[in-house]
């Protein structure tokens, strides 16, 4: 008796269906990986949190005769003291790239005292990162800095 062997593999129809599904997924998902809209705000908010917390820690460590730098907020940057966005050292500034379409508000100055408490020239100590969505950084009266 002859044993019948069944051929294994995919049919042409199955291969075409899989290719069509991969094509549909590629068309709908690939642009999300190359477009930063909606995600840039989260990056800038986290960087602003880290910058403000670092300045606060430096202010709390400054006890005798040292100067505490102000944090200057503009619509396109957060800088410590006299730093600016054209400096090679980016540890003292957060500069927003024009391609990200993100802005900061309110514009003003934030100053920390030796206890880590903030005083803001714009009144309330809330920094807004405006883009596809609005994210906020709150500085409480006791000095707690957090996303809100």
User: The whole model's pTM is what?
Assistant: 0.72
What mean pLDDT is predicted for residues 58-76? 86
Residue identified by tokens 């008796």 is 1
Residue identified by tokens 């391609």 is 99
Topology of domain 40-147, per CATH? minor pseudopilin epsh fold (3.55.40)
What's the pLDDT score for residue 54? 92
d(CA 55, CA 8): 66
Asked if pLDDT for residue 87 goes beyond 80, the answer is no
Confidence grade of residue 36 (pLDDT, cut at 50, 70, 90): low
Closest CA to 113 of 47, 66, 77: 66
What mean pLDDT is predicted for residues 55-69? 85
The predicted-structure confidence for 6-24, as pLDDT tens digits, reads as follows 778 889 999 999 999 999 9
> From the CA atom positions of the chain, what is the Rg in Å?
26
What's the pLDDT score for residue 104? 92
| 53, burial (CB in 10 Å: exposed 0-12, middle 13-18, buried 19+) | middle
The predicted-structure confidence for 90-124, as pLDDT tens digits, reads as follows 788 899 988 888 899 888 899 998 888 988 886 77
What's the pLDDT score for residue 2? 63
38 backbone φψ class: left, alpha, beta (φ>0; ψ -120 to 50): left
d(CA 88, CA 9): 59
């Amino acid at each position: 008796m002859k044993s019948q062997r069944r051929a294994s593999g995919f049919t042409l129809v199955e291969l075409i269906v899989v290719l069509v599904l991969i094509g549909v997924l590629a068309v709908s998902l690939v642009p999300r990986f190359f477009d930063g809209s909606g995600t840039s705000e989260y990056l800038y908010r986290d960087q602003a949190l880290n910058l403000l917390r670092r300045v606060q820690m430096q202010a709390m460590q400054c006890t005798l005769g040292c100067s505490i730098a102000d944090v200057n907020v503009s619509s396109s940057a957060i800088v410590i003291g006299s730093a600016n966005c054209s400096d090679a050292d980016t540890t003292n500034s957060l500069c927003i790239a024009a391609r990200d379409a993100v802005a900061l508000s309110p514009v003003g100055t934030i100053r920390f005292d030796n206890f880590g408490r903030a005083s803001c020239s714009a009144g309330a100590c809330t920094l807004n990162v405006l883009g596809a969505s609005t994210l906020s950084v709150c500085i409480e009266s006791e000095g707690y800095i957090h996303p809100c």
